[in-house]
Amino acid sequence: MDSRYQGCPDQIEDFLESVFLRHGPDGVIDALSFLFGAFVLTMNGRLIAASESFAALVGYDITELRDMDVLQLVVPECRSELKRRLAADITARYELQLLSKNGAVKQVVVSPRLFHVQGRKYRLAEFIDQSGIYALQRHQLENFRNTACALTQAIEQRDPYTNGHMSRTTSISLKLAETLGLKGPVIDSIRLGASMHDIGKLAVPIEILTKPGKLVSHEWAFIKRHPEVGHSILASIDFDKTVKDIVLLHHERHDGSGYPYGLGGQEIPLEVSIVAAADCLEAIAGVRPYRKARSFQDAIAIMEQESPKYDREVLRAARSLVDGGELHGLEYNPEF
């Protein structure tokens, strides 16, 4: 809520009650005309007053809004959460998707406050329209995805043996994240990070990437530099920290045996652990210049033999995906 409406809660409640008794709920809205968009709600969810700016936000006349059930103004998937907030008298600021009269969805930030009038509770809320900001963020995210796709293709076209590795790792990462209950922006960050996790291999000579035999020490040193090289490539791009952490840390292991920093346990973010496990699962199952592909059952069994390297919950989720047959495809055919 507007900073002019904060502080001295007892005085504010007395003020709101006084205005309500003298001028009704419309008087409360008029007295708080500095709020961008506001309404007054009964505790059973009926709208009894609204500002012109709120009416304009949702595309209704004020007369149409009067006595409307507030759930009609919210997209269906948000209604149960709003009912919970109303029932629990929650007054923390939150984000909400409003449904306007013409069907347009408006992304808003809601700042609610409860007040009492002669023993009855009412809810006053201010609405700030964030739709333009969210549209810009979606546009930026789409640009990021396009950038990630172009970079991924550049890397995968260099090496026929790992062609598709990053896209398959991304697919597995998203399945793991969903299995673990992750949602929203976290999923977007995992998608971007996983799709570019090996971008640093652009700096690895193709002779090393495609070498059929065992790597010698200086060749292995080239490989082990790719997370830091990838991170430096993304340093000047406006990706969020999670994306860059995935690129930098996807070869870290929970037992401290990974690289480049030898991190372990809680030092490794969950998002990184998800992509790290997906990367290993795909790498073990996929065809490589020095061996044929394996089955996912073989791959997860190998990972479980080295279980201290992986986040316990992530490894359990990977096992459930494999056992459930959710990871499959001709590219994993052991006879390929």
Q: How confident is the model at residue 137 (pLDDT cuts 50, 70, 90)?
A: low
Other CB atoms closer than 10 Å to residue 157's CB: what's the count? 9
Q: How confident is the model at residue 333 (pLDDT cuts 50, 70, 90)?
A: very low
Q: For the residues 225-248, what does the mean pLDDT come to? A: 90
261's tokens = 């920093």
- What is the CATH superfamily name and number for domain 3-129? PAS domain (3.30.450.20)
* Domain boundaries, given as residue ranges, for the chain: 3-129, 137-332
Q: For the residues 66-75, what does the mean pLDDT come to? A: 94
Q: For the residues 215-223, what does the mean pLDDT come to? A: 89
Q: How confident is the model at residue 2 (pLDDT cuts 50, 70, 90)?
A: very low
> What is the CB-side half-sphere exposure of residue 7 using CA atoms within 13 A?
3
Q: For the residues 151-174, what does the mean pLDDT come to? A: 76
Confidence check: pLDDT of 329 > 70: no
The rounded mean pLDDT for the chain is 86
Confidence check: pLDDT of 336 > 90: no
In this structure, the chain runs to a length of 336
Select the more confidently predicted residue: 131 or 330: 131
Q: For the residues 163-180, what does the mean pLDDT come to? A: 90
Confidence check: pLDDT of 152 > 90: no
For residue 171, the model assigns a pLDDT of 92
Q: Which range has the top average pLDDT, 77-81, 107-111, 309-313?
A: 309-313
Q: For the residues 301-322, what does the mean pLDDT come to? A: 96
| Least confident among 139-148, 156-165, 193-202, 214-223 | 156-165
Select the more confidently predicted residue: 20 or 286: 20
Whole-Å CA distances, 172 to 16, 74, 98, 175, 277:
54, 34, 34, 5, 9
Longest dimension (CA), the chain: 87
Confidence check: pLDDT of 4 > 50: no
Distance between CA 37 and CA 124 in Å, rounded? 11
Distance between CA 164 and CA 156 in Å, rounded? 6
Residue 312 · residue 304 · CB < 8 Å: no
Confidence check: pLDDT of 7 > 60: no
* pTM (predicted TM-score): 0.60
307's tokens = 């279980």
Distance between CA 294 and CA 336 in Å, rounded? 9
Which of these CATH numbers, 1.10.3210.10, 3.40.50.920, 3.40.1080.10, 3.40.50.2300, describes 137-332?
1.10.3210.10
